[in-house]
Structure 1
Amino acid sequence: MSIKPISLPVDCTLTTIRQRARLPFAIAGLLLSAQTQAFLPTPLSLVTTGELAPMSNSAVVDETANTAAYPRVQTEISEGQNAQARQKSQAEELLANWREQVKTENLAQHTTWRRLLYFFDDQKGFLGKNKGVSVVDDANFFLSKNGQQDSGAELDAMLVALADELTITAHNTAQTGDSSSLNSRSQNSNSVLCRFPARVHWLSETLNISESDLMADCPEFDEWIEKLAPEQLSIMFAQEYLDNPTSAFAHTLLRIDSKASAADPSQIHHAYALNYTVGGDPADSFVVYAIKSMIGSYDNAIEIDPYPEKLAKYLQDDERDAWTYQLDLSPSEGQQIMRHVWETKGLEMPYYFATDNCASEILRLIDVVRPQQHLLSQLPYVVIPSDVVQLLDNEGLLARTNYTPADSTLRQAQLNAVKQQREQLGYHNSAKQTFHEIKSARLNPISSMSSDRQTLLQRRIAVSDNNPIDRHPLQLGHVGIGQRGDNNYIDVGVRAGYHDFLDRPAGFPQFFDLEGAAVTVRLYDKDDEASHRHAQPKSVVLQNLTLVSGRSFNPVNSAKKGKTWGATIEATRVDDGSQQDGTDHLVGSLGYETGWSWAFGTPRKNTGEMPPQLCYTLLSGTTQAGRGLNKGYRVGAGVNLGCRYQINNQLRVQAELQLPYWYHGSSDAPDVRGHYWQPISTLGLQYDFDKKQALRINTTYDWQERLAANDDIQLSYRRYF
């Protein structure tokens, strides 16, 4: 098989020869290029986590085609590394300066810093908090894992985070040339500047950090503070409300005023209410609710609502008068308080009805911005809203005062005026209908608030005598001398609170009657078994221990709604009338009353006060148990009739007749009764020397013939403190 040679055109042959002649030059150029590349940095696109990335021939060709760009890439890397090094150096230098100042001034133990972290260093009394541990048990509130136990560790962690954020900001600003530009720190709501604005503000003032360096865009916080626009703070006091036992001791909240409502307090639609309350379970019964509130089984709840909504609840729904006191704080102090509220509003901490409540939180917030003040420590055992108002007044922290009458108070003022006219003009047929229309909230919608609940209307009546600043101190000590039968005795007692029917009424709601945590011991001075077989031995006995005792009076002929009722939980000494010559015994007693009351007399002119005198009829039921009683128990039902007469501002008298019918159960023993009537009459009179001192006379007569001693009379000196 023969192969024919291929003949090429002349032009093609010459071209091929020229190409072959250039080949050595191309190879030489390629080698020269490879040698040059050895002296250049490795392209960034070929480096992955410290190792060379796989590369193709085309990648090599592309890289060699762009060798002019390699020096710029390497320069950027070097500049970035240098910038990070500079940032680290600047942060360390800043941190070192701060740490030195912190050490020199011992800022880790500064009162304000520890108060910002919920350390209670100056809390007194056996109910005081652990001074070495913050009461906040939430890891999110601390930057340091030891922050709850060590305020110094938390301060250092705060400074570290702040130094890092400030140097990052300074670097980004230097790169952009715009101090207002957004950066990674300012867009992060978890930055310390956004999470802890109150801490940052205090540190900026203490460490002289420029405000411009602390500028941050914190959308959530900025929106919140812009909405509230805090310019001025006031404390609002809503008076006691026995018909809701959880509000029996009154309530306080903070009114947050903007510039508009601060300039004109009637413009309440520009204000907000900060309410510290218990986050209870609505499904719990009242008894369970009360117990859990007392022992801290519920968490607190911080509510911030439009002020008109809260005010309407007190004035219209609960019919409670309100007193508002402007706090003598500067706008900057008010704003710092609100920054701190932002930091703490999401915390879950136990709520204690008597110690950590709506009133104590207001004192704590003021203490945060006033390190020289020690308000909360001045109320070491129990914190009551009215005590807080009086304390703030004594400390000169209350400025302008405003009284806002409840809707029922305004209706009562109208009722008083109509009754006065009726007395002057004589009876007319439409009087009863007129009274009904005035008393009805539905038919008579008069209110201190406008119909849209946006503004306060001008007050048209005089101020009622229920300003809590004017009331007597709630704690009481008393000593009395008396005689029971033919045996003399001395009584000594204390009462943690609150106010009974005969106490000085100024500063309280009318006819207010609520006592709690009261104890009385009695010392008999006679040990004469011969003269009287049943005389008490010469010894000290527990006469009474009251957990709670109170009555809510809502007279049927007044503008107030609600019922008249009462309840008592106590251990007390009673006379057992089931046996001949029965003596007194200590028993546990649980009682409840319900019925009607009527106010009469002439009220103070142009006020919404009810007439000063009161009579009542109450149906009662009582259960008692004790070893001294026949069969160890008795149950009773009956009627209690009484009146209280206000003779003048210093003198009051109360008379009451109790008609209980007791049942012990049937008995076969001779001369032992299983059921019987036991009428008891009492008379009390009190004269006030001033807000803190009074004399009281109490007399009791038991109309049961089978008792060893029927009468008891006592004169006591009472000191309020």
Structure 2
Amino acid sequence: MTRSVAPWMLFLCVLTLAPTVAAGQPPSNDGRLATDRVVAYVDTLIERAREMELWNDPYWRTLLHYERGLFGTRSLVDDPSFFASPVGKKDPRAELEATLRILFDPPLTAEEPESLEAIATEGATSDQPASRDASETSATGTTDASVDPTEDTTPNAARAKLPICRFVARYEWLKEQLDIDESRVPEARCEPFEELYTAVGADAVSLIFPTSHMNSPASMYGHTLLTIGAASETSLLSHAINYSAVTNETFGPLYIAKGLLGLYPGYFSMLPYYAKLQEYSDVNDRDIWEYPLAFEREEIRRLFLHLYELENINSNYYFFSQNCSYHLLYLLEAARPGLDLTSRFGWWVIPLDTIRAAEDVGLVRDPIYRPSKSTKVSFLAGLSTHEEQRLARDLALGKTSTDEPRLGDGGLAPEARIRVLDLAGEYLQYIYAKGEVEQEAYVPRFLATLRARSSLGVSGEWRYAIQPPTPPDHGHRSARIELGSVFVRRGPGDDGPLDAFPLLTVRPAYHDLLDNAAGFKRGSQIVFAETGLRYDPRREKLRVEFFDAIDIVSLAPRDLFFHHTSWRVKTGLIRRTDSVGGDPLVFHLGTGFGWSFGIPRLGVPYLMVDTETQIGGGLDSNYAIGGGASAGILGKVTNWWQFHLSGRAIFFRLGDRDDL
């Protein structure tokens, strides 16, 4: 059966298909010529860059975080979104050429993602990078519990940016080097960056070093961050720039292992500095040192350009090398072309040493000291008698009130009452910040203290000016080499003769109890990878006497206001004399927990309950587990002359039973 098509239907089909056919037509001659001109111009720029070998310029390598190693050049940035070229991580030339081409691509009509401005202006109180809900940690050990960062529910924000915003720092530098005609660039200005830069008012930068907290193992290694803001404003109104790892673990074996192996992603973030200061100074009992940096305004702009490129970009975080302090150095290098700080560091990057590196090149001005609440409480307690301390503590804890007779006219002298009320006020603020007092109890108690204090008239603040201690950067250097001797008993038992051997000890980091205490917390020790080598002339052999992978001690004295726990942990390899007179290396892990007390003019006596575990082929059953106790006293004559008298007894009851 034959069917005919009505003429009106044929006409409708022609109308429907006409736009489609038109849309499928090749571009006009004008459009093709414009595209050809852009391609030709980009080719000219690339040829100029090749003649200059611009990819070998140190500043290009700074912007891309390139480092030369045993296996060639590679970038320390691990996020593919950071690169314009698929091979950009390992090929500086390919990355430069791809960057030039992508800058001249027509802009996408995608919404600009949430920028650092959201963090800078919303009063955030965590270090999280924009658009991420994940737990962060740094060398300080601070964490924010949240959602698993591996859940990728949205496209990477960095890819959604306009080319000029993705590579804003690179574009500014390439424009200067190649004399790029901005009129030929489709988008030659990143408006979101300019708005954020104006809002921050970035014309002053400081390097921040929070000191260690005795009861926080991770914080003892140190941490650095930057602040950026207007020079005319107080530093509290500036913004903190922080680099830290995103983790889901708390402090523990898995946390340490993954941190050492670089299995955590690290991100830059920005938040109000007052929030960061509150976190360290009130909650974590850490004094703050601020080191203003001698950057000009244009240099600060370069720093901020590079920071903007790194938004939502991750790099593998290594606790002891590519850590918070190391990655901040790239921002400083980006600020000042020709500055080389990262090449000074290798296997170990200690935060305090990065400050010294900045000082060595003339970047650092005189530091500013901000004592923590706990430091203020300790200082005021040191000015008070024991009776005044007890009364101040009881006031803060609500065990007594300001109606106490000793605080009246017939009680303590006016100066004593001033000391009591000032100390009570500081301690009350401290325990409130620690969460030990509810707000309902804190507010009336604090207001009553203020009223009683104001009735005494004269302000006592001038009496309480805390003299800054030695700045941390003025303390001793981290690495140490020493030459000594070791006495080893020859043969089995305790009656054999003692032989003396020369001992060379190498310590890459960081500080022990008997080091010069200037610039460090007294009673703190954190040692990594200390190795002792002894030479045996009879055997003509150099042998490892011990290897201390970690040796941490915290002797935090207890008093009326602070009930610290003293502790220590030490692990590594030691030599253990066996039943046949040998001394094989065995693995050991020792821990201790107890108390210490500060006694004026005497020192810090302490007592601990200890455990010891040893594993090795020279032991009966190849292991030994026991417990015991240790006691000692740490004293100081001067910063350069200290003494440590100690004794330790361990009784093994599992495995090898030869006691220590």
TM-score (norm 1): 0.67
Give the AA of the match of 1:101: R
Distance 1:52 1:341 in 2: 42
Match of 2:526, SS state, is: strand
Match of 2:240 in 1: 273
Q: Is the Cα–Cα contact under 8 Å of residues 550 and 572 in structure 2 kept in the other structure?
A: yes
Deviation of the 1:129 alpha carbon: 7.5
Q: Percent identity?
A: 26
Say yes or no: does 1:550 pair with 2:549.
no
Mapping for residues 564-583 of structure 1, pairs under 5 Å: 564-575=566-577
Match of 1:376 in 2: 342
Distance 1:286 1:51 in 2: 66
The 1:506–1:558 alpha-carbon spacing in structure 2 relative to 1, beyond 3 Å, is: farther
Match of 2:285, SS state, is: coil
Match of 1:518 in 2: 530
Distance 1:227 1:156 in 2: 33
The 1:354–1:102 alpha-carbon spacing in structure 2 relative to 1, beyond 3 Å, is: same
- Structure 1's unaligned 5+ residue stretches are 1-43, 54-76, 122-127, 167-187, 423-428, 528-536, 603-611, 667-673, 679-721
Q: Is the Cα–Cα contact under 8 Å of residues 524 and 539 in structure 1 kept in the other structure?
A: yes
Distance 2:256 2:265 in 1: 13
Q: Is the Cα–Cα contact under 8 Å of residues 326 and 400 in structure 1 kept in the other structure?
A: yes
Match of 2:319, SS state, is: coil
Deviation of the 1:51 alpha carbon: 7.2
The 1:88–1:412 alpha-carbon spacing in structure 2 relative to 1, beyond 3 Å, is: same
Q: Is the Cα–Cα contact under 8 Å of residues 592 and 621 in structure 1 kept in the other structure?
A: yes
Match of 1:600 in 2: 599
Match of 1:288 in 2: 254
Distance 1:223 1:404 in 2: 32
Match of 2:418 in 1: none
Larger radius of gyration: 1
Distance 1:459 1:93 in 2: 73
Deviation of the 1:408 alpha carbon: 0.6
Match of 1:654 among 624, 641, 644: 644
Which stretch of the first structure deviates more once superposed, 334-343 or 482-491? 482-491
Match of 2:384, SS state, is: helix
Deviation of the 1:548 alpha carbon: 0.4
Q: Deviations over 1:38-87 (max 9, x none)?
A: xxxxxx9995455799xxxxxxxxxxxxxxxxxxxxxxx99x94642553
Q: Deviations over 1:117-175 (max 9, x none)?
A: 22114xxxxxx585433333443323333333322222223223334559xxxxxxxxx
The 1:309–1:459 alpha-carbon spacing in structure 2 relative to 1, beyond 3 Å, is: farther
Match of 1:191 among 162, 167, 171: 162
Give the AA of the match of 1:516: F
Distance 2:93 2:581 in 1: 67
Q: Deviations over 1:71-110 (max 9, x none)?
A: xxxxxx99x9464255335424532442343133221222
Match of 1:151 in 2: 92
Q: Is the Cα–Cα contact under 8 Å of residues 78 and 316 in structure 2 kept in the other structure?
A: no
Q: Is the Cα–Cα contact under 8 Å of residues 609 and 629 in structure 2 kept in the other structure?
A: yes
Distance 2:425 2:99 in 1: 59
Match of 1:94 among 10, 18, 41: 41
Distance 1:279 1:389 in 2: 24
Match of 2:409 in 1: none
Q: Is the Cα–Cα contact under 8 Å of residues 74 and 89 in structure 2 kept in the other structure?
A: yes
Distance 1:211 1:559 in 2: 64
Deviation of the 1:458 alpha carbon: 9.9
Match of 2:365, SS state, is: strand
Match of 1:504 among 508, 516, 521: 516
The 1:47–1:623 alpha-carbon spacing in structure 2 relative to 1, beyond 3 Å, is: closer
Match of 2:232 in 1: 263
Q: Is the Cα–Cα contact under 8 Å of residues 322 and 403 in structure 1 kept in the other structure?
A: yes
Q: Is the Cα–Cα contact under 8 Å of residues 412 and 558 in structure 1 kept in the other structure?
A: no
Say yes or no: does 1:241 pair with 2:213.
yes
Match of 1:488 among 500, 505, 530: 500
Deviation of the 1:621 alpha carbon: 1.2
The 1:225–1:598 alpha-carbon spacing in structure 2 relative to 1, beyond 3 Å, is: same
Match of 1:632 in 2: 622
Q: Deviations over 1:192-233 (max 9, x none)?
A: 212211111112222234667777564544454344332222
Give the AA of the match of 1:563: T
Q: Is the Cα–Cα contact under 8 Å of residues 233 and 326 in structure 1 kept in the other structure?
A: yes
Match of 1:432 in 2: 390
Mapping for residues 110-121 of structure 1, pairs under 5 Å: 110-121=57-68
Deviation of the 1:461 alpha carbon: 2.9
Q: Is the Cα–Cα contact under 8 Å of residues 119 and 131 in structure 1 kept in the other structure?
A: no
The 1:464–1:131 alpha-carbon spacing in structure 2 relative to 1, beyond 3 Å, is: farther
Match of 1:346 in 2: 312
The 1:500–1:459 alpha-carbon spacing in structure 2 relative to 1, beyond 3 Å, is: farther
The 1:467–1:213 alpha-carbon spacing in structure 2 relative to 1, beyond 3 Å, is: farther
Give the AA of the match of 1:512: S
Mapping for residues 668-679 of structure 1, pairs under 5 Å: 674=657, 678=660
Distance 2:586 2:270 in 1: 46
Q: Is the Cα–Cα contact under 8 Å of residues 591 and 620 in structure 1 kept in the other structure?
A: yes
Deviation of the 1:645 alpha carbon: 1.3
Q: Is the Cα–Cα contact under 8 Å of residues 609 and 628 in structure 2 kept in the other structure?
A: yes
Give the AA of the match of 1:655: L
Distance 1:638 1:131 in 2: 52
TM-score (norm 2): 0.73
Mapping for residues 336-415 of structure 1, pairs under 5 Å: 336-415=302-381
Match of 1:149, SS state, is: coil
Match of 1:104 in 2: 51
Match of 1:461 in 2: 465
Q: Is the Cα–Cα contact under 8 Å of residues 390 and 560 in structure 2 kept in the other structure?
A: no
Q: Deviations over 1:567-608 (max 9, x none)?
A: 1112112456xx6x9665532211111111111226xxxxxx
Match of 2:174 in 1: 203
- Structure 2's unaligned 5+ residue stretches are 1-14, 108-158, 397-422, 434-441, 444-460, 489-496
Q: Is the Cα–Cα contact under 8 Å of residues 472 and 504 in structure 1 kept in the other structure?
A: yes
Give the AA of the match of 1:251: H
Q: Is the Cα–Cα contact under 8 Å of residues 406 and 447 in structure 1 kept in the other structure?
A: no
Give the AA of the match of 1:613: G
Which stretch of the first structure deviates more once superposed, 475-484 or 615-624? 475-484
Distance 1:135 1:299 in 2: 12
The 1:189–1:349 alpha-carbon spacing in structure 2 relative to 1, beyond 3 Å, is: closer
Which stretch of the first structure deviates more once superposed, 112-121 or 636-645? 112-121
Match of 2:519, SS state, is: coil
Say yes or no: does 1:133 pair with 2:74.
yes
Deviation of the 1:509 alpha carbon: 1.6
Match of 1:663, SS state, is: strand
Distance 1:439 1:618 in 2: 31
The 1:313–1:190 alpha-carbon spacing in structure 2 relative to 1, beyond 3 Å, is: closer
Deviation of the 1:447 alpha carbon: 11
Deviation of the 1:443 alpha carbon: 2.3
Mapping for residues 530-541 of structure 1, pairs under 5 Å: 539-541=541-543
